[in-house]
Structure 1
Amino acid sequence: MRSEEEILGAATRHLNADPTASMAGLAEAAGVSRATLHRHFASREDLLRALGERATRRWEESQDAADIDAAAASGDPDRMATALRVMLNAFVVDADDFGFALTDHFVNRIPELVAWATRLEDREIAFYAACQDAGVLRPDLPVRWLSNTVYGLMISVRESLRRGDVARRDAPALLLGTFLAGAGPTPGPTPGPAMGTSRAPQNDHDGGRA
């Protein structure tokens, strides 16, 4: 018998390929009967909520594993650079979960998940800002642009893995290389918008972070 964690993983992967999948389709993808799926989750909405909670919890665990708060407080560029790499590598491991949570509109309308995600995003933005101050990331880019760039790259990782465009073992280096090539420190000044640009409010067409 498949565990609930295995069912959630299979459901996430299937929804990334078919966001409108029914409970019957999700049960088939998970290798369980509809009755078994309904014993775990009474409705599709309950399943989506569980997937959103799982993804958000993993996001927080990735931040914790990298110890980004302590790294930012240390002011040590080497420690921050290491924390950045650890966190982004962890994000790649959970690319399926991130990709789902970042784009599912139902998940992004659950108030408690939105509040949780906002807290995690603020925490991450504070870390990126500390990295900018320490010269680990470019200081001329709006810090929320850096956050949104990671958001976009996680969607790219998810889709590239889902389609077989890249090998999973190559994804961490591709993510880090792409992000740091654009956001890493440069030898000379690079034109860019002024710091402090605020993020536009989300609307119905903005996936947001779950």
Structure 2
Amino acid sequence: MTITPIKKTTLTLEEFLQQDYIEESPAYEYIDNAIVRKSMPQGKHSQIQYKICEVINQFSQTDKVAYGLPELRCNFGNRSIVPDIAVFFWERIPLDEEGEIANQFNSYPDWCIEILSPNQKPTKVIDNILFCLEYGTQLGWLIDSDEKIILVFEQQKPLKIYRHEEILPVINNLNLELTVNQIFSWLKIK
């Protein structure tokens, strides 16, 4: 897997968002006046991403607590990022004039979940999670399927690495209990 290098640009965030190519797969992000292309997800990444969205949405839709969306562009704080999973509290999901989910999300996610891809450098992903926390995100996960660990970032708490049967923190009011082993068990297709 090759990682597209950062390209400095004179485009503003607003001009970047008008570019046709930014939604190509994998998506482009706008970070610190630079255009960065995300890594292309592979099998393990895609499976974990799918299952986490499914589980979060299954548990939260009944109570209308939160909703998880994969590969959703979030524009805030002079950045345009595309977390692997962006979870928004139900009341913060933007709606259009017809009362349908909006196409543009001009805010930080309440929970940012990133899944490390092979050959992807964790520093860019960690930088995006920390940026989200600065703007109001409650919780960030960085899932490393090679090491079978999950790094958890929370506002005003030290970074913590979760392993094995440890129960992972989730956003407030979401009645969901997941362990690290449960998440990585989804990689075994039965």
* Bigger strand fraction: 2
Q: Which has the larger share of helix?
A: 1
| Higher RCO structure (Cα 8 Å, ≥6 apart) | 1
TM range (shorter): under 0.3
TM-score (norm. length: structure 1):
0.23
> Normalized against structure 2, the TM-score is what?
0.24
Larger radius of gyration between Structure 1 and Structure 2 = 1
